[in-house]
Structure 1
Amino acid sequence: MRLPKLLLYLLFGTAVGAIGRSPYPTSVPSPKPSSFVVPTWDIHTSPQDGEALARLSLPGANVTDWHHISTSKCTLMGCLLHAGAYDDSELFFSDNLKSFNRSQFAVPWVYRNEFKLNPRPGQHYFLQTNGITSKADILLNGHTVTTKDFQVGSYAGHEYDITELLNAGPNGLLIQVYPTDYNYDFALGFVDWNPYPPDNGTGVWRDVVVRQTGPVALDALRVATDFALPVGKGAANVTLKATARNLENRNLTFAAQSNILAKSGGVPVTKTQSVTLGPYESVDISLTTTLTRPSIWWPKAWGSQPLYSGKISVLMCNSSSSDTVEQTFGIRKVTSSINAYNDIIFNINGHPFQVIGGGYSSDMFLVWDTAKFEAQAQYMLDLGHNTVRLEGKMEHPELYEVADRLGLMVLPGWECCDKWEAWQYNEDLAVKSDWAAHDYGIANASMRHEAAMLQSHPSLLGFLVGSDYWPDDNATAIYMDAFKSANWQNPIVASASKRSYPAALGPGGMKMDGPYDWVPPTTDRLGAAFGFGSELGAGVGTPELGSLKKFLTKEDLDDLWKQPEKGLYHMSTNVSSFYDRKIYNEALWKRMGAPTSLDDYLMKAQMMDYEATRAQFESVSAFWSKKRPATGLIYWMLNNAWPSLHWNLFDYYMRPAGSYFGAKVGARPEHVAFDYATKELYLINHSIDRRGPRTVSVDIVGIRGEKLASTAVRTTTEPNKSKSIHKLSPLKGATDVDFLRVVLTDEKRQTLSRNVYWTAKTIDRLDWDNSDWFYTPVTRYANYSALNQLQPAQVTATVTPTRGGLNGSYGHDVLLENQSSVPAVFVSLNLVNGAGGDVVPVFWSDNYVTLLPHEKLSLSVTSRAKGASAVQVRGKNVAPATVALG
């Protein structure tokens, strides 16, 4: 099967014409190859009469009463939100979504656009889809281009020759989309992440492209790079490949020319090859260039992200250009291997790469916002993440362009729990529609499209062809052939679990043993810190009050602390194991004491969230160099598809809270972590170039501020290593709750990390023998209730403006000083506007900090958002205060 030709947002050449709704089409004729994304749509429920549908695809059809959408891609719900028919802030408030009229999406809908072209002899035109959910009929100027029997699957991109169907002048394009059912369609589902969207994601959710070429057309550009290790010791070979097709019934001779140019500038490197094609013949063009001093692309924490532009052009004998394909790429090398414990280990540019990241979710209505994703990616890097996993949420080319530019690795793959994994051996599906012969065709088109879209991006770590279950042998062969056709150079992983694997791929080396709900900070057994955890987390991510008020009523807020076992609409679906906070709340009540108010509940929840995420990221980081290493962690989850009460490191409104800063501390580039079970301290180094002497200062104080112990440990650090450096001795005079402060400094006495733990006399005890797939029962809880008797602490905050923060934005330094003789516990700072609203996105050097008696601590904050006017300060035993920025 020929690789589908894709454009995917690379708008090269001169635009054929600006597209808009009739009666104002325009025309910019050009003989040059060109393309455009259909920029707007009119949508309406579909007429039942097929003849009426054909008439609507004719130029000049009356669509005055339709919804007019000024965006190029959107699901039905996304379109209606864009048109103002609904407001997601209202839909998401409390349980309003329950009463939404879903029946309107039980019938087909149509998308329509009218555009004008001026075709010339020798020009060829193609309509390119990049996946439509769930399936579609496409009509142009009253003619059927394709039907739902072929254009089916959310990721199944196809190309259709529309040259003979075009008018000189106005053209009418109509796409009829059919309702989606996750059990039977290859779509984008959400499993138990949140309620299903009312339209199940139906619609033209990715761009539709009209492309014009000359007599010879090129398929998608593929880029292959190769260089010898170690990095920096030699040249790199860059091969640009594309399939050229003769579209006419005559012999054609042309020059295929490659062009490679560093994005930073310089002189382009070109190569030319003469090619002759017979009538309708195809041939693979392959042009290799040697770069003597290549710029190597690195993940953000390890180096810079130099990018190149690669291009192949078809130049006819009369010097006219027939077609051009272009792609941005980076030069880097990713490999993987399976170690003796059947765990996967990735390598980047010759260095073992411990994956630290989270599981990403698209917006519930698949609304794409490049600026929002860039802020999310910056959050990930600020968290110390190096990778984001996309489970069946491959989004759009812009996502990978952002990741390429910022240096964030991406691990995409197919999703679980619906049609994508409806194998005979999958007994977990409530409704199972086993794959039939035509399903393998959909899978083929889907894999070829995604492989072509992803192939050149240096941010790609690999691809998971299975999530909870592995593909059968037939699907595996289809997937592997698609990767081969795309000149894929990244690892291909059988699945995210260790259930089994296809023989053609071998073991995937990842595990999916949980937890998914709350467990105490521990480093032992099951989903703990060994091997590669493809999705695991303690089920935390409680939003702060400013966010909660945006989607919960007063009664909903009361339920959080007054009804600890109640099912909550903003958790997961009502048939999910995660529909309530019962497990989480039992731990909060027994460890922290019964909450006395909503504010008290949220303070305790933020402490629980911070403690849980810090332990998870610290344990994986600390055990990187163990005999059986922790090779990777994908935290479940990074973000939410809608306002949610769990499973996030920052909430839907982009406010970072306790889970964020616990995770950030636990994944610092250089860090010292405390093991609750063994009382050991681990020195962690995530870099590939930092080395030398280090000092670890350890201080322990009691709940009343009394100094219980103090020591300094001198050691050395090695790049990309972790090791145990010290074991704490039993304390004399320990109180019910003590505070352990650990500070890591270098030879210049610069602080590299600072960390404060609250510790109890006993630790949580787990009932491992009765573990479930999503949590392990606790038979004895650590007792932190003494924190409720803390004496008040007086903390001052001095704010000073600075410049030179994130991307050169303005920021502020905040000097905190504990003026009391008792610890100031869990002090949080929040940047707010004049109305007291959260300013987001926001980047704090640290937050939710504990200061020992009379300790000073300087923090910094930057934000590119407008309107910041003050910093709110509060703590477990610190009264709320607001400090103006000045």
Structure 2
Amino acid sequence: MRSALYLILALCFISGARGKAQNTLYTRGIGQYPGDEAENYNPMPAGTDDQIRNLALHRTAFHSSSYDYNLTAQLVTDGITDTHMPTIYSGSTSQGGELPKNQRLYLIDHNPVTRLPIQGPEGWIQIAWSGPISLPAFDSLLFGFDVQGNESSQAGWSIELSGSRDGSRWTSIRKVTGVGIPGDTITPAYKYFLPGNHRVIPMKCIPQEGLHYLRIAFQAPAVNWWNIGGMETFLEGHKVTFLTSSTFTSAWMDTGQEQEWVSVDLGGPSQVREVILDWIRRGDGCHLQHSPDGQRWTDWIAIPASADGSRDMLIVSEPVGMRYLRLLIDHKNTTPAILSELQVMGTGGKQWRPKPMDPPGDHRMLLSGGAWKVQRTSQVREDGRRLGQSGFDDGEWVTATVPGTVLSSFLNVEAIPDPNYGDNQLMVSESYFNSDFWYRNEFEIPQHFIRDRVFLQFKGINWKTEVFCNGNPVGTIAGAFTREVFDVTDFIHPGTNALAVRIRCNANPGGVKEQTAASPDLNGGVLGADNPTFHATIGWDWIPTIRGRDAGIWDDVLLTSTGPVTLEDPFVDTRLPLPRTNEADVSISVTLVNHTGQSQTGTLQGKLGAVSFEKDFLLQPNERRLLQVNPEEVKGLHMSNPQLWWPNGYGDANLTDVFLTSVLSSGVVSDESHFKTGLRQMTYSGEEKALRIYVNGIRFVPKGGNWGFSESMLRYRAREFDIAVRYHRDMNYTMIRNWVGMTGNDAFFDACDRYGIMVWQDFWLANPWDGPDPDDEPMFMDNARDFVHRIRNHPSIALYCGRNEGNPPPSLNQDLASLVGSDHPGMIYFPHSAEGAVSGYGPYGAMPAAFYFKNRATEKPHSELGMANIVSKESLDRMMPADAQWPVGRMWGIHDFCDGGAQNGAAYKKLMEINFGPIDNLDDWLSLAQFRNYEGYRAMYEAQSRNRMGLLIWMSHSAWPSFVWQTYDYYFEPTAAYFGVKKACEPLHIQWNAATDSIEVVNYSHPDALGLIAQAEVFDLTGALKWSHRMTIDSRIDSRQNCFVAAKPDGLTSVYFLRLKLMQGEEVLSENFYWRGPGTEEALGDNFLLRNAHDNDYSALRNLPKVPVSTTESGRQTGGGETGFMVTLKNTGDRPALMIRINVIGEQSGEQILPVLYEDNYFSLMPGEEKTVQIRVKTEDTRGEKPVIRVSGFNVG
């Protein structure tokens, strides 16, 4: 019996693996990334002991408020006690007074598109640094602004820069005068794309030092409106920043409200003996509370004023049990308190231990997990030579997660709260993570591992780094998207070895953006100057500002051991005699490197699928040589009837194994390389006017979405990429756009290869409005070259694009075009994502279905189009606390559902009201939003069928818990939009044209289908059939055919239903279902798009009664790592059952199980009708429970 049990467990482990053995059966849970324990190198909880320690050290802390984004609760538990006042920045204008927190940085954020309006001919702006540190020295300043006024006026104007040390006594630094409109619209050497009326006034001066205040006063009688873009300062030609995140004081500072608080979660049951408070500015009326759960608080100690006001040491006679501790401050005035550190001495709490490294292979050692530690450089006195030696005491450092970002390392030991939940991002200090960090690791190398050469490989860091091995500097890395390999043969030895890695933070981090219910703020910013980096982490309207900008060791670190000759940059190139595909010529190239001072001879041995080949080599000392193998040399590389790779919907995504081995003349294997590729050829037409893409000679229609980012803290591994890309295949997608190139993981491209999803690959240049050109073009091109080499064997790569919604700088554009042409032959490169042979620019807010048919049936591939997408109640509960969920407000804004901005939440809400009437509760809002999700996302794709040039929506994937631009949510729950997309993107599809009322059949990639029956049925609100019609048609591949116009018979209810079916005999090939209602005259809004946008009144749907839906399960099978079953749902009521939702849950817990593949969901049934749906769940995601279903719906009861 025991042996049988072991066999079952072994099979379960094997079936759930993704290319490597799993060491656990079940994944970590919904929203826990990485989810596969075999890919998760987070530290693990360790047992506690009876030793008294600071239980609050690096523990999660929360606050009631903070003055800015630097002085947050996190800093009271960071182990750093400061006594000096922090640098406190404020900004103000003549009309607005002191700027609110979320706009305070606009004047100094190095982003001229974040602007502040001032009405009238005159005004001023002012910035101040209070505290012991003065503003950095500068000797020139650029003052940027837009103006409106009388262009012909000759009235005199002046702009004066003044400075002060105390805010009272001011000194004029520079005054500029002129006549008419100030400034010049010809922008100086300034790297942003700016509006035509943007003006810059350069102001040179003698070096200014010791100032705490700066003011720019301006007056121009010809001007009636100013829009101030801020100031840029320089010293000897180098940019100077006034962002206070460039300084650091470890302290929390509140905003001086009547009652403020800061709390800490000790991590587990604790016995507290002493609390120590270190103040910089003591609060009034302080007292401590404790709690077992963070909800129920017990008053504990009223804190008397200490003698010097800087430290309170509160010792209790007997230990007090608690989990949470809170400091309350009852302010007698509005002066904010400043607390540097809160220590809680006692026993219990929570401690951590590293996850052990995987055992080394014969010639490959993955340095994930193990003894990695991380520390802020301000806390480290030693240099890399000392840190990189074994035996260094890093006991006070934080246990790190590698691969992972610095921020995720702190999250994984609960030193910060989860930034993705609620508004927790505001608890995390911007200035703490705007720093360099040191990583350390010590590891054991067995004697047998070391061969002739040992290499240390980094697959991805951000932003720059210096590496030390056993005390020796081995090299540097620059840029987030380049791999680096260091020869450490002379430094590595058997036994204990050490690494030290200094991660250098971004030079241009920019400022924090805080989204509100009203506004998502403006996208991007100065971080673009550091590209290649993770530009989106500065904050966009779909992702918050990520503290630390995802600096860290984000991809694998490993050691490899080889002989003297290594293999680099293999490349497989396929050529077909198009239009024939029954033959293929395959060429293989690889660079051989001799790492010795002696000549080396040997043989390159290879295998491509079933074809084996050999080629001799002779390498001179230290020579690098490109070796090529082609069909003229190896007859087997001229293939008959090759197994080609095809995109999803066009054929099978056949992958071919490639093995390459360098064998020395002595017979010793020196190096090996193994990878998968696909045999396929890309061709293109219409490169100048309207791009058409062909795969293996067959026209390919890109249907898919943009990926702005994989995951906010770069925590995806192979499991997550597999889920996401598999979902894309399930939605009948064919392409993902790797927007601005920020998804760099091999596992992403592997999954796209596996599931037949082609990749539009951007380089790392956002819209010029969203950030400047890169400061370091050579670094950019080094990253680009390595990245092209990294991905070029992936058959999923469809094209390269230089820049999002703009052209690269001319020099980069030329270099990128040359790079793609020479290093990835046969691939297209074009510079602009939205003009030329492609189109774009949205829109991005919800629109009526007819809008898309009338206005977005584009004649070119369309690169961006989107709308909000509201999540389920289960996901909403994971996103934010219950008291923030209704009404839609501030917390929704933080999670991207803002009234303003491109997402235009106000229009979404207006459309909901037009469709369904006033909505006064959360459950109805979430339920009715699924109608909008389904209809809008379906319509975007159905409209594109007219020309079938392709659509990539903005976006198909969400990087964090969001309400906008996604098909499934952050937790991998498919929304109704997912199934609207899946319906619209069918290879063979029947649809209703919302602009013409025509019933249409669309064939994207299905072989020619003859003798099809197109059928339409109209049902009234009760579910009674009122009209039907059918006709026989033939559908050719790559076509759209008008069939007939849907009728509206007399006497029909105001809201009614249209059901379509496309059949071949009795087999239903495609079906579709629409709800329709009377049009309204109410417009969605006031702008040029919305004022003419009208939609339908579906409010009568809300009068439908609840109807019963029965379920019957059948065909349950478990195997291959999955549980699959069928469920038949039947409407047993006498009214339609609408938007029926199947939800897989655990039988015992009733908790949701994700991810899940549903054959269909959010569908409707007329009275008496039934539908059978196939469901598939991976066993590893079931938590050991039997997956069962719970059925709900708009009116299912």
User: 1:120, 1:375 → 2: CA distance?
Assistant: 35
User: 2:1025, 2:900 → 1: CA distance?
Assistant: 47
Q: What is the SS of the residue equivalent to 2:720?
A: helix
1:454 offset after TM fit, Å? 0.6
User: 1:179, 1:586 → 2: CA distance?
Assistant: 43
User: 1:511, 1:25 → 2: CA distance?
Assistant: 48
Q: Mean alpha-carbon deviation: is it higher for 864-873 or for 384-393? A: 864-873
1:836 offset after TM fit, Å? 3.2
CA shift in 2, pair 1:95/1:343, >3 Å: same
Q: Which residue of 2 is the match for residue 479 of structure 1?
A: 816
Q: Indicate whether 1:111 and 2:111 are aligned.
A: no
The one-letter code of the counterpart of 1:37 is L
User: 2:530, 2:1156 → 1: CA distance?
Assistant: 39
Is the contact between residue 192 and residue 573 of structure 1 (CA under 8 Å) also seen in structure 2? no
Q: Which residue of 1 is the match for residue 758 of structure 2?
A: 409
User: 2:589, 2:673 → 1: CA distance?
Assistant: 10
Q: Which residue of 1 is the match for residue 387 of structure 2?
A: 56
User: 1:370, 1:684 → 2: CA distance?
Assistant: 35
Q: Which residue of 2 is the match for residue 188 of structure 1?
A: 534
Is the contact between residue 520 and residue 764 of structure 1 (CA under 8 Å) also seen in structure 2? no
User: 1:870, 1:29 → 2: CA distance?
Assistant: 41
* 1:185-209 Cα shifts (integer Å, max 9, x gaps): 2211323222121121100112223
Q: Which residue of 2 is the match for residue 285 of structure 1?
A: 627
Q: Which residue of 64, 72, 77 maps to 2:407?
A: 77
Q: What is the SS of the residue equivalent to 1:604?
A: helix
- 1:501-540 equivalence runs, <5 A: 507=836, 509-522=837-850, 523-524=852-853, 526-537=855-866, 539-540=867-868
1:799 offset after TM fit, Å? 1.8
Q: Indicate whether 1:644 and 2:957 are aligned.
A: no
Q: Which residue of 711, 731, 744 maps to 2:1029?
A: 711
1:397 offset after TM fit, Å? 1.0
User: 1:112, 1:835 → 2: CA distance?
Assistant: 42
Is the contact between residue 591 and residue 781 of structure 1 (CA under 8 Å) also seen in structure 2? yes
Q: Indicate whether 1:316 and 2:646 are aligned.
A: no
The one-letter code of the counterpart of 1:155 is F
1:28 offset after TM fit, Å? 8.0
Provide the TM-score with structure 2 as the length reference: 0.64
CA shift in 2, pair 1:779/1:441, >3 Å: closer
Q: CA RMSD in A?
A: 3.1
1:87 offset after TM fit, Å? 5.4
Q: Which residue of 1 is the match for residue 590 of structure 2?
A: 242
Q: Which residue of 611, 623, 628 maps to 1:269?
A: 611
* 1:3-56 Cα shifts (integer Å, max 9, x gaps): xxxxxx999xxxxxxxx99999999897xxx34332232222225666443211
User: 2:442, 2:825 → 1: CA distance?
Assistant: 37
User: 1:610, 1:274 → 2: CA distance?
Assistant: 60
Q: Mean alpha-carbon deviation: is it higher for 329-338 or for 722-731? A: 722-731
Is the contact between residue 839 and residue 861 of structure 2 (CA under 8 Å) also seen in structure 1? yes
- 1:718-733 equivalence runs, <5 A: 718-733=1036-1051
Q: Which residue of 1 is the match for residue 1158 of structure 2?
A: 844
Q: Which residue of 2 is the match for residue 670 of structure 1?
A: 988
Q: What is the SS of the residue equivalent to 1:448?
A: helix
User: 2:1079, 2:900 → 1: CA distance?
Assistant: 33
1:65 offset after TM fit, Å? 3.1
Q: What is the SS of the residue equivalent to 1:220?
A: strand
The one-letter code of the counterpart of 1:471 is P
CA shift in 2, pair 1:170/1:488, >3 Å: farther
User: 1:670, 1:450 → 2: CA distance?
Assistant: 36
Q: Which residue of 763, 777, 784 maps to 1:447?
A: 784
CA shift in 2, pair 1:764/1:404, >3 Å: farther
Q: What is the SS of the residue equivalent to 1:534?
A: coil
1:442 offset after TM fit, Å? 1.1
CA shift in 2, pair 1:765/1:290, >3 Å: farther
Q: What is the SS of the residue equivalent to 2:1145?
A: strand
Q: Which residue of 2 is the match for residue 465 of structure 1?
A: 802
Q: Indicate whether 1:758 and 2:1075 are aligned.
A: yes
Q: What is the SS of the residue equivalent to 1:631?
A: coil
Q: Indicate whether 1:861 and 2:1178 are aligned.
A: no
User: 1:600, 1:767 → 2: CA distance?
Assistant: 21
Q: What is the SS of the residue equivalent to 2:426?
A: helix
Q: Which residue of 2 is the match for residue 203 of structure 1?
A: 552
CA shift in 2, pair 1:216/1:699, >3 Å: same
Q: Which residue of 2 is the match for residue 125 of structure 1?
A: 454
Q: Which residue of 1124, 1127, 1146 maps to 1:811?
A: 1124
The one-letter code of the counterpart of 1:189 is H
1:252 offset after TM fit, Å? 2.8
1:698 offset after TM fit, Å? 1.2
* 1:464-502 Cα shifts (integer Å, max 9, x gaps): 22222222231123323433553444332323111xxxx
CA shift in 2, pair 1:283/1:575, >3 Å: farther
Q: Indicate whether 1:689 and 2:1000 are aligned.
A: no
User: 2:397, 2:628 → 1: CA distance?
Assistant: 48
Q: Indicate whether 1:140 and 2:457 are aligned.
A: no
1:766 offset after TM fit, Å? 7.2
Larger Rg: 2
CA shift in 2, pair 1:484/1:116, >3 Å: farther
1:223 offset after TM fit, Å? 1.2
Is the contact between residue 1015 and residue 1031 of structure 2 (CA under 8 Å) also seen in structure 1? yes
- 1:334-733 equivalence runs, <5 A: 334-338=682-686, 342-360=689-707, 361-391=709-739, 392-417=741-766, 426=768, 428-429=769-770, 432=772, 434-436=773-775, 439-484=776-821, 486-498=823-835, 507=836, 509-522=837-850, 523-524=852-853, 526-537=855-866, 539-560=867-888, 568-572=892-896, 577-578=901-902, 581-620=905-944, 622-623=945-946, 629-733=947-1051
CA shift in 2, pair 1:491/1:803, >3 Å: farther
Is the contact between residue 357 and residue 368 of structure 2 (CA under 8 Å) also seen in structure 1? no
CA shift in 2, pair 1:722/1:390, >3 Å: same
* 1:396-445 Cα shifts (integer Å, max 9, x gaps): 1122222222222222222454xxx6xxxx3x14x63x444xx1111111
Q: Indicate whether 1:333 and 2:659 are aligned.
A: no
User: 2:357, 2:1143 → 1: CA distance?
Assistant: 50
Q: Which residue of 1 is the match for residue 31 of structure 2?
A: none
Q: What is the SS of the residue equivalent to 1:78?
A: helix
Q: Mean alpha-carbon deviation: is it higher for 461-470 or for 597-606? A: 461-470
* 1:715-752 Cα shifts (integer Å, max 9, x gaps): 122233222111224532233211111111112x1112
- 1:770-809 equivalence runs, <5 A: 770-771=1087-1088, 776-790=1090-1104, 792-803=1105-1116, 809=1122
User: 1:445, 1:683 → 2: CA distance?
Assistant: 48
* 1:774-814 Cα shifts (integer Å, max 9, x gaps): x6444533222222223x25333222131469968333333
User: 1:597, 1:93 → 2: CA distance?
Assistant: 22
Provide the TM-score with structure 1 as the length reference: 0.85
Percent of matched pairs sharing the same residue: 24
Q: What is the SS of the residue equivalent to 2:862?
A: strand
CA shift in 2, pair 1:705/1:213, >3 Å: closer
CA shift in 2, pair 1:870/1:126, >3 Å: closer
User: 1:580, 1:779 → 2: CA distance?
Assistant: 14
The one-letter code of the counterpart of 1:753 is S
Q: Which residue of 2 is the match for residue 179 of structure 1?
A: 505
Q: Which runs of 5+ in 1 are unaligned?
A: 1-8, 12-19, 263-267, 499-506, 624-628, 880-886
Q: Mean alpha-carbon deviation: is it higher for 723-732 or for 47-56? A: 47-56
Is the contact between residue 736 and residue 757 of structure 2 (CA under 8 Å) also seen in structure 1? yes
Is the contact between residue 948 and residue 1004 of structure 2 (CA under 8 Å) also seen in structure 1? no
Q: Which residue of 1 is the match for residue 1136 of structure 2?
A: 823
Q: Mean alpha-carbon deviation: is it higher for 543-552 or for 781-790? A: 781-790
